[in-house]
């Protein structure tokens, strides 16, 4: 791969290359891979790993900091891109640590059918909370209610008035909001938060592709309701990964937690799958498989 980049760079006049930062590299994303050869002491031929790898069939990985060796193979390997990987850890850290949950808390999860949201909702249910999720299609809403065991779910695209929708499901307000979308949704959730509410800010997907982020109103309610709103990055918490596996693997094997993937085959279908994420066409964790045996 390094060679390919080098060749492409040669075609670009030096000055253009300096002035315009051009990345001639594959897209990076979380994936599962098998080690074909290694000079790194932690990894040997045949090992399975998950972590940040390139979108390509064969990769030369020089930065191994994100790589974790897979120890448990009695689950689908693709789970290490989701429930057993970064999204799983995100749900775990976000819910148990950032949300400071108490039994009986009312929990709202946006983008609830995504890789992180579906797990947060199930963790919250197992913990003894009342859980409502929002998603962008009937299919996703059905999944939340029938597969993931959310108490209630609604299609935000069909709600004229988000405030009214939230009041319908949370007549006494929201204790915990797991924030994945940002923008208008956050604004309306703030109006419905209870005293001492907690908002774990995991992502704001509605804001990522805007030239300028939208403004969120109602932030003064943070004071009036003594709300804590906290962002977090999962990679600050990877030392807790073994503890996380210890909790989540039995839940998977005992069928106490459900997990849904949306799989496309072949690297050539990966770009469309990525674009689909922002349109919300995927149902569950979006996975791209590139099989090589």
Nearer to its own copies, 61 or 98 (CB): 98
- Which parts of 94-133 interact with its own copies (CB under 8 A)? none
CA–CA separation, 81 vs 34, rounded Å? 14
49 or 190: CB nearest its own copies: 190
Q: Is residue 227 near its own copies by the rule CB under 8 A? A: yes
Would you count residue 212 as binding its own copies (CB under 8 A)?
yes
Pair type for strands 106-109 and 193-201: unpaired
Query: Quick one: which of 207, 263, 281, 289 contacts its own copies (CB under 8 A)?
Result: 207
| Least distance to its own copies, CB of residue 191, Å | 11
- Report the candidate in 201, 196, 190, 154 with the shortest Cα–Cα distance to residue 175: 196
User: Pick from 66, 218, 263, 289: which binds its own copies (CB under 8 A)?
Assistant: 218
Q: Decide: is 230 part of the binding site for its own copies (CB under 8 A).
A: yes
- Name the 3-class secondary structure at 194: strand
Contact 245, 74 (CB under 8 A): no
Is residue 241 within the footprint of its own copies (CB under 8 A)?
A: no
Give the span between the Cα atoms of 4 and 169, in whole angstroms.
Answer: 54
Helix (H, G, I), strand (E, B) or coil at 198: strand
| DSSP 8-state assignment for residue 164 | H
Does the footprint of its own copies cover residue 201 (CB under 8 A)? Answer: yes
CB nearer to its own copies: give 23 or 220.
220
The H-or-E segment that residue 287 falls in is strand 285-289
Which residues in this chain contact its own copies in the complex, by CB under 8 A? 182, 186-187, 201-204, 207-208, 212-233, 236
């Amino acid at each position: 791969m390094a060679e390919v980049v080098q060749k492409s760079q040669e075609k670009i006049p030096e000055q253009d290359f300096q002035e315009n930062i051009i990345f001639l590299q594959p897209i990076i994303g979380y994936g599962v891979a098998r080690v074909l050869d290694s000079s790194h002491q932690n990894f040997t031929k045949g090992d399975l790993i998950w972590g940040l790898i390139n979108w390509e069939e064969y990769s030369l990985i020089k930065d191994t900091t994100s790589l974790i060796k897979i120890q448990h193979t009695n689950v689908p390997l693709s789970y290490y891109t989701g429930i057993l990987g970064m999204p799983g850890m995100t749900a775990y850290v976000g819910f148990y640590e950032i949300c400071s949950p108490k039994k009986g808390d009312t929990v709202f999860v946006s983008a609830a059918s995504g890789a992180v949201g579906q797990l947060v909702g199930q963790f919250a249910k197992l913990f003894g909370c009342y859980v409502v999720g929002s998603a962008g299609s009937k299919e996703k809403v059905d999944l939340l209610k029938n597969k993931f065991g959310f108490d209630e779910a609604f299609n935000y695209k069909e709600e004229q008035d988000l405030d009214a929708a939230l009041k319908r499901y949370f007549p006494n307000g929201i204790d915990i909001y797991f924030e994945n979308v940002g923008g208008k949704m956050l604004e309306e959730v703030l109006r419905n938060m209870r005293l001492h509410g907690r908002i774990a800010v995991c992502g704001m997907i509605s804001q990522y592709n805007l030239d300028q982020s939208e403004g969120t109103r109602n932030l003064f309610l943070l004071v009036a309701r003594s709300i804590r709103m906290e962002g977090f990055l999962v990679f600050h918490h990877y030392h807790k990964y073994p503890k996380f596996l210890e909790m989540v693997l039995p839940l998977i094997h005992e069928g106490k937690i459900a997990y849904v993937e949306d799989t496309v085959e072949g690297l050539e279908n990966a770009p469309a799958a990525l674009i689909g994420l922002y349109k919300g066409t995927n149902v569950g964790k979006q996975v791209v498989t590139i099989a090589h045996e």
